[in-house]
């Protein structure tokens, strides 16, 4: 219980902020991999958070960077990531047409 209170609670408080979580998951450095070690999963979470933030330009930047990274390492999850990216891009388009 002591470990949960001293480690987990501060971690959850820090990364429950969407901007902080997006910043962390947008990276591919050692710190980002420590929090989310599976590259395609980290990439999917990053574009999901970028979508939730609602900033289309930021979404595109993160999606482009993650596509490039997953391609460069020949990640087997690339196809799944690209499907999610396409889905979220279509959602952005449908949201902008209704506003």
Domain ranges for the chain = 2-98
Query: For residue 47, which of 29, 26, 31 has the smallest C-alpha distance?
Result: 26
Q: What's the pTM value of the predicted model, to 2 decimals? A: 0.88
pLDDT of residue 15: 87
Judged by DSSP in three states, 28 sits in: coil
Whether 90 and 56 have beta carbons less than 8 Å apart is answered as no
What are 20-52's pLDDT values in tens digits?
A: 999 999 999 999 999 999 999 999 999 999 999
- Cα separation, 21 vs 62, whole angstroms: 13
């Amino acid at each position: 219980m002591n470990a949960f209170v001293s480690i987990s609670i501060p971690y959850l408080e820090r990364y429950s902020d969407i901007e902080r979580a997006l910043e962390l998951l947008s990276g591919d450095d050692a710190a980002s991999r420590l929090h989310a070690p599976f590259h395609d999963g980290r990439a999917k979470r990053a574009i999901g958070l970028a979508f939730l933030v609602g900033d289309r330009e930021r979404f595109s930047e993160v999606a482009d960077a993650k596509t490039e990274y997953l391609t460069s390492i020949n990640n087997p999850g690339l196809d799944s990531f690209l499907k999610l990216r396409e889905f979220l891009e279509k959602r952005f388009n449908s949201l902008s047409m209704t506003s």
